[in-house]
Chain A
Amino acid sequence: MSHVLEFDSIRLSFGGRMILCDIYMKCETGKITGLLGGNGQGKSCLFKIVYGELGVEEKSVRIDNVSLTKGFMRPDLLRFLPQFDFIPKSFSISRVFDDFELDYRELEKRFPEFASKHRVAVGKLSGGQYRFVQTYVILKARSQFVIMDEPFTHLMPLQIEKVIELIKEEKENKGLLITDHLYRPIMEIADRLYLLTDGKTHPVREFAEMEELGYVAMGR
């Protein structure tokens, strides 16, 4: 079944400086929606607002036209991968998989580097593996939509490829909303792309359009 996540009328300001003012984004089941933007443009804040973590005076977040004010209360509808490590370091991988109702054997079968590591605490994994486990559980757990804030952070190129593979797979069942500083993979996988600049979201298709809007890509 197809679902639609939309949000608009979001206003956020810090100390008199308007961060977000003219926002509209749409995400559907079976589609990857990418959000790009420079540092400090408010991408993470926008995602936190949509998830309900960051309170604002005005916002409208809807799933299938039904208002969702506290997305974090509804993991069946929305899950969120923050840009930092969030799984308690003392938890074993099997505990995490059990909490998210996932089968650890699937991970082991697909990614042999995790073989026989089910009892290892996530904090003992390498930085890349730790991040990969977090991305995996959020992507794979049952939900209608997934918001991912910088999923490629701390990952090696090979791990990034694996995450891209997982994202493409999961889009069959979910709507995915992704932002990252690595614009190339985002542009490659996104079905719909937005650029956030000066507090506004602009639907874009080509890199040239983003440059016209003032986007300076890292490492280009």
Chain B
Amino acid sequence: MRLVKKIRLIVHFYKGFCLLSLLITAVCLVLFWEYGFSIFSMLLWLKAATLFLIFRFIKSYKAREFYYYHNLGVSKMVLWAVTLSFDLLVYLILLFQVNRFR
């Protein structure tokens, strides 16, 4: 399967929870703007915990759809590794951007 198609599948998978995840990121950014580095580790834990809850929810809610990805050669491991890494990266980049303008 071509890489473009794999990326398209991963994007579709990410769309399933990106809004909720971005909302949590936004909340964390507002808190970081208010309180700064004093709550940095707490915000990291908050983000990690909510991502874990999303992971658990999607894992059971979309369990059947994983067969679609598997039949196209995209494993669960790839789906989660790519989307969660991207989501965390965006989170950290935005946190550092907020810190620059504080």
Binding site for B on A (CB under 8 A): 51, 53, 70, 72-76, 79-80, 82, 84-88, 98-101, 138, 141
Contact = CB atoms under 8 A, between A and B. Distances in A.
Interface of B: 1, 5, 9, 12, 64-68, 70-73, 75
Contact of B67 (A73, A74, A80, A98): A80
Contacts, number: 44
Contacts of A141: 71
Contact of B12 (A72, A73, A88): A88
Contacts of A72: 70-71, 75
- Secondary structure at the B interface, as helix, strand, loop or mixed, is helix
A87 B70 CA distance: 11
Contacts of A79: 71
B5 A75 contact: no
A80 B70 contact: yes
Nearest to A85: B64
A84 B72 contact: no
Contacts of B12: 88
Given A99-B9, A138-B71, 7 more contacts: A80-B67, A80-B70, A80-B71, A85-B64, A86-B68, A87-B68, A99-B5
Contacts of B72: 75, 99-100
B4 to A, nearest CB: 11
A200 B45 CA distance: 49
Which of A72, A101, A138 has the most C-beta atoms of chain B within 10 angstroms of its own C-beta?
A72
A73 B73 contact: yes
Given A72-B75, A99-B5, A84 B70 contact: no
A75 B73 contact: yes
